[in-house]
Amino acid sequence: MKSDLQTSVGLTARMPYRLGFKAAVAGVCASEGDLETSYKLLLECLLLNPNFIPAQETIAVNRLLASEPAIALREFKNVLHTNPSSRVGLWGKGLTLCILGKHEDALDTILEMAENQEMSGAGLGLLKKYFGIEESTTLKVSSVVKSFTENLSSNRSKTAFDLIKDIGQSDQSARLKLILSDFLFSRGERKTAKSLLEKMLDVHPYYPGLLYKLAKTSKSEGEDSQALEFLQTVADCEPAHPDPDGISSLVQSSFAQPEDIEDLRVLRQWCIDVIKNTCIGVKKHEEPQLQPISQQPPEVPISSADVIEIEKKLEEAQPVIPEPQPEETVEAEPQQTLFGEEEPPSREYQEKQLERTRKILEEARKMLDQTKHVQEEPRGEVGANQNPAEEEQKDAQSREKNEVFEATIVELEVRIDEDIPSEPVIIEGGPKRIVLPTSDLEPELSESRAWSMLRDGEAEEAFLMFSKLLRKEAGIESDQ
């Protein structure tokens, strides 16, 4: 059997356009457990004809066998988009909805399964499992299709417009309109029925049942060429479509030989059997959810004594990491840094901060002098060695250059942990406005004043204030 199957798979490569044979071989591969080869053959079919219904149905069942219900549901919906009357698509969609826990969405399809002679057992089993509906009560509940058929027989005086309006835009609207067209033909409204079918082509251009009815109507009116066109589309999409009127013999499928028709019928029956067997063994799908509130243990109020005891247990459970002892015996209290961090002031830390502070102050002074030369204007020159009294007299010039100094300060903050270059950096292209960092909880009053002075344009005073803060952080109390 395995060798015969391998031979058949090899023949599909020699006959790439014989999609009926390829779909039948794919079904045999799936029944033998070779889902990968089956999936590959079915995809080859759909690449040549995306509307080849036997391949669409089999690929959906293939994903169902692969325990991929979400993907299978999508494939069954694709089947129903092409052929809304597909039994495999309808029953497969209802089954996968049940597996995914969407029982209410599947109710109408399950009711229709219960009304069908072939699937009545599976449908009644699902109704009993998920809705508690026994066999004796199913007569009181009917599907949308059955209710619509009964409505037509009891409202024969309604106009076609009112009957179409009653259908609406439900998932079964295409099938219901086909039933309505038969009703309109039976009471002599042929023109209205044909117009209804032609409008449906815009939404379902490859619907075999619709195309077959249009072909039958066109042939009865003497439009043989139009009828042959409809029949050819049916033969290409679904070569094994039922032909009670014997008109499909006028055309031949481009994707299947006459001997493939019986194999495709067997393939469809195999798909229905897979769905039926899965319905019998289906279990309620449980997605991971939070525990319901009703099942959660009630909250017990915790007293202050319990809180202290819990904190002690947590401290005992946490590993204690010994901290390195500083060389000096006298320990200073942790100081808050300029940016809100806390570090112990050890000797190594003080030396490092002292060296960094000197480099920062030296570099900042060079960059400040350089930016003043770059932004120099004819109105006056800024000397490199001006004392603080002269700087206060030229407050207006400092205000004009505060944006350059803001960029310098921000750049110093970013480069504080990097190596300071030996040469000053010249800012070219003009300064850009920098939004200074603010904080609702400012660490020290002197720092707040420094930022305020910097915003007001008092660059020199802000620079001196920041230098004092940096020296204080490094443990240097006196100015140098």
Residue-wise pLDDT for 22-36, tens only, equals: 999 999 999 999 999
* Domain termination site, one of 222, 246, 281: 281
Q: Give tens-digit pLDDT for 273-299.
A: 999 999 887 654 443 333 332 333 444
pLDDT: which is higher, 436 or 42 = 42
Q: Looking at the structure, do residues 354 and 272 belong to the same domain, yes or no?
A: no
User: Cα separation of 406 and 412, whole Å?
Assistant: 10
Please check whether residue 35 lies inside any domain of the structure: yes
Instruction: Look at residue 354 in the predicted model and tell me its pLDDT.
Output: 73
Q: Looking at the structure, do residues 6 and 102 belong to the same domain, yes or no?
A: yes
Band of pLDDT at residue 197, cut at 50, 70 and 90: very high
Instruction: Look at residue 434 in the predicted model and tell me its pLDDT.
Output: 37
Band of pLDDT at residue 86, cut at 50, 70 and 90: very high
Q: Looking at the structure, do residues 171 and 236 belong to the same domain, yes or no?
A: yes
Band of pLDDT at residue 393, cut at 50, 70 and 90: low
In this prediction, residues 372-382 reach a mean pLDDT of 52
Q: Give tens-digit pLDDT for 125-142.
A: 888 888 887 766 655 678
Give residue 414's identity as a one-letter amino acid code. V
Please check whether residue 295 lies inside any domain of the structure: no
Please check whether residue 452 lies inside any domain of the structure: yes
pLDDT over 50 (residue 348): yes
Tokens 């952080």, located at residue = 473
Q: Looking at the structure, do residues 344 and 245 belong to the same domain, yes or no?
A: no
Q: What percent of the chain has pLDDT over 90?
A: 37
Give the least confident one: 3-7, 81-85, 126-130.
Answer: 3-7
Q: Looking at the structure, do residues 358 and 316 belong to the same domain, yes or no?
A: yes
Q: How many CB atoms lie within 10 A of CB 245?
A: 11
Q: Are 92 and 273 in contact (CB under 8 A)?
A: no
Strand partners, 335: 343
Q: Give tens-digit pLDDT for 170-195.
A: 678 899 999 999 999 998 899 999 99
Pick the closest to residue 274 from 84, 9, 33 (CA basis). Answer: 33
pLDDT over 90 (residue 440): no
In this prediction, residues 35-43 reach a mean pLDDT of 94
Instruction: Look at residue 417 in the predicted model and tell me its pLDDT.
Output: 45
Range of the domain at 100: 2-281
Q: Looking at the structure, do residues 268 and 342 belong to the same domain, yes or no?
A: no
Instruction: Look at residue 331 in the predicted model and tell me its pLDDT.
Output: 44
pLDDT over 90 (residue 305): no
Q: Looking at the structure, do residues 42 and 165 belong to the same domain, yes or no?
A: yes
Give the least confident one: 69-78, 110-119, 402-411.
Answer: 402-411
Q: How many CB atoms lie within 10 A of CB 307?
A: 10
**Helix spans in 297-437 (H):** 304-317, 347-374, 388-393, 395-400, 402-414
Instruction: Look at residue 392 in the predicted model and tell me its pLDDT.
Output: 58
Band of pLDDT at residue 43, cut at 50, 70 and 90: very high
Please check whether residue 205 lies inside any domain of the structure: yes
Distance of CA 473 to CAs 453, 467, 479, Å? Answer: 20, 10, 13
In this prediction, residues 387-413 reach a mean pLDDT of 53
* Domain termination site, one of 281, 311, 342: 281
Instruction: Look at residue 402 in the predicted model and tell me its pLDDT.
Output: 54
pTM for the full predicted model: 0.59
Instruction: Look at residue 272 in the predicted model and tell me its pLDDT.
Output: 95
Q: Looking at the structure, do residues 313 and 271 belong to the same domain, yes or no?
A: no
Of the segments 149-153, 183-187, 371-375, 396-400, which one has the largest average pLDDT value? 183-187
Q: Are 336 and 342 in contact (CB under 8 A)?
A: yes
| CB-count exposure of residue 240 (10 Å: 0-12, 13-18, 19+) | buried
Give residue 94's identity as a one-letter amino acid code. G
pLDDT: which is higher, 436 or 148 = 148
Instruction: Look at residue 459 in the predicted model and tell me its pLDDT.
Output: 75
Give the least confident one: 53-62, 93-102, 311-320, 369-378.
Answer: 311-320
Please check whether residue 418 lies inside any domain of the structure: yes
Q: Mean pLDDT over all residues of the chain?
A: 75
pLDDT: which is higher, 52 or 9 = 52
Which CATH number characterizes residue 76's domain? 1.25.40.10
Q: Looking at the structure, do residues 68 and 197 belong to the same domain, yes or no?
A: yes
Q: How many CB atoms lie within 10 A of CB 212?
A: 24
Q: How far apart are the first and last CA of the chain?
A: 97
Q: Looking at the structure, do residues 242 and 362 belong to the same domain, yes or no?
A: no
Instruction: Look at residue 436 in the predicted model and tell me its pLDDT.
Output: 40
Please check whether residue 290 lies inside any domain of the structure: no
Q: Give tens-digit pLDDT for 236-265.
A: 999 999 999 999 988 999 999 988 999 999
Instruction: Look at residue 372 in the predicted model and tell me its pLDDT.
Output: 61
Q: Looking at the structure, do residues 171 and 264 belong to the same domain, yes or no?
A: yes
**Number of domains present in the structure of the chain:** 2
Q: Looking at the structure, do residues 231 and 349 belong to the same domain, yes or no?
A: no
pLDDT: which is higher, 22 or 462 = 22
In this prediction, residues 326-350 reach a mean pLDDT of 50
Instruction: Look at residue 304 in the predicted model and tell me its pLDDT.
Output: 53
Give the containing element (helix H, strand E) for 335: strand 335-336
Give the containing element (helix H, strand E) for 29: helix 19-31
Please check whether residue 286 lies inside any domain of the structure: no
Pick the closest to residue 345 from 330, 332, 326 (CA basis). Answer: 332
* Domain termination site, one of 281, 316, 333: 281
Q: Are 247 and 7 in contact (CB under 8 A)?
A: no
